[in-house]
Amino acid sequence: MERDFLYIDILGFSNMVKEHSPKIPQIFDIFNGLSVHDHYAFQTIVFSDTIIVYNGNNDMSNHYYVTYLIEFAQQLFYRLLSIGVYYRGFITYGDFEFHKLTNIHAYWGNALLEAYEDDNKKDENNRIKGFGLFVRRDLSDDIIILDKMPVGEKYNFVFLCQSYMNLYKKVNGLLPVDINLLTETDEFDRIDEDLAFFRKIAFIKENHPCENIKEKYQTVYNWYKEKTPKFFEIFEKQGFLPFILNPSYYGSINPFETIAEHELTTDK
């Protein structure tokens, strides 16, 4: 059966398992609490560090399924962000079979194989070096609300920090902004989480001991910088702090504490 398909792989999961990280049960609690489980049109499979979401029927349009898969991916992005965990995810389309047998659940198909191979490419020239959500280009016309940009020959990167991107467009990249935009509307209600995300990736790209990991975070950082250059011109000099948006705005997240900094500076 041809289905739309979301494949998500948690970054750094193997190391978390080896280190007996308390994040492991938190990750599965987050998986378990996603709204996708309440949606009649979708089925979910979780295996170790991988979560797979697919449409269980073909009753709706392709746009419908892709829109909801992006919504689920964005919800997972923010919930994992709260514990300093990130993922690489792919939305694709193709053959995917799932059968609930007497004693086991069986699933296979080209869409699953394609997503797995794209996530695990060994060839440096063809591998996606960043993380986040990637949508196959022939599905990207169904992305209307969120911004996107081409990455490689096959995928578009989706900018999940929607409040941040919306604010940039609203004010044409000019700072500071009217504080009423931040406090009296819901359009930018996740701006604090978005800035926290940038603080975390900015710290990791400069301080992580592993060069490959630093490169992943630098890549995502560069994509956002390319898309919102005027904001970055100021934030890079002054920090991704809430009161840079407006001197009277302090946000709801302590800007001077980051999970990444705590983890990298604490002896294990």
Mean pLDDT, residues 59-82 taken together: 93
Write down the pLDDT at residue 124.
59
> 121 with 201, same domain?
no
Strand (E) or helix (H) holding 245: helix 242-245
The most confident of 114-123, 150-159, 167-176, 246-255, by mean pLDDT = 167-176
Q: Minimal CA–CA distance to 7: which of 62, 72, 64? A: 72
- Mean pLDDT (the chain, rounded): 91
In a domain, 150, yes or no: yes
> Last residue of some domain: 107, 125, 160?
160
Q: What is the pLDDT of residues 98-132, one digit of tens each?
A: 888 999 889 999 888 888 888 887 655 567 889 99
Residue-level pLDDT at 86: 97
Flag whether 242 is in a domain.
yes
Has residue 165 been placed in a domain? Answer: no
Listed range (40-44, 58-62, 155-159, 160-164) with the worst mean pLDDT = 58-62
Close Cβ partners of 180 (under 8 Å, ≥ 6 residues apart): none
Number of domains in the chain: 2
Please state, as a whole number, how many other Cβ atoms lie within 10 Å of the Cβ of residue 162: 20
Residue 106: count other Cβ atoms within 10 Å of its Cβ.
9
Q: Token pair for residue 230?
A: 């005027």
